[in-house]
Amino acid sequence: MTDHVNRDKRSLIMAAVRSKNTKPELAVRKMTHALGYRYRLHVANLPGKPDLVFPARRKIIFVHGCFWHRHPRCRYATSPKTRPAFWQNKFCTNVACDRRTRQQLRKLGWSILTIWQCELKNPQKVKVRIDEFLAD
């Protein structure tokens, strides 16, 4: 199956995909701030540059896109029809990197909460999860 856009257009589309300050991440940041919690963003000296870091609590929140991070059994974790070998390798690499990052952070004494993009369809439930995770 061929791509429905040309190579240059696809390159522009893929270049627009952000790793920081995504819409799901901004939504989680807004919820967390509204709950009264303060955090640091993308701390470079921690493995994986976590999305939200709560240093005093030793807690971290990652906001993962279902497509890129392969949310298990999620309808948004689809695979492109073009270049399946490339995409399979890309997704496996992303998942392995996520696993390594979580292991390293746990070894350093951090607790981790992962919020998936599809979970944001129910913001109240996400707020409760965040509040329960961050409560001392």
Closest CA to 48 of 9, 88, 7, 106: 106
> Residue 63: CB partners within 8 Å, gap ≥ 6?
22, 24, 25, 28, 51, 52, 114, 115, 117
The type of residue at 21 is N
Q: What's the pTM?
A: 0.86
Tally of structural domains, the chain: 1
**Is 79 inside a domain boundary?**
yes
**Is 14 inside a domain boundary?**
no
SS3 114: strand
**Is 10 inside a domain boundary?**
no
What is the CATH number for 41? 3.40.960.10
Q: What is the mean pLDDT of each run of 10 residues along the chain (136 residues)?
A: 68 67 93 97 95 97 94 91 90 96 98 97 97 92
**Is 7 inside a domain boundary?**
no
Report pLDDT digits (tens) over 70-106: 999 999 989 888 889 999 999 999 999 999 999 999 9
**Is 33 inside a domain boundary?**
yes
Pairing of strands 52-54, 59-64: antiparallel
SS3 48: coil
Q: Which domain holds residue 81?
A: 19-134
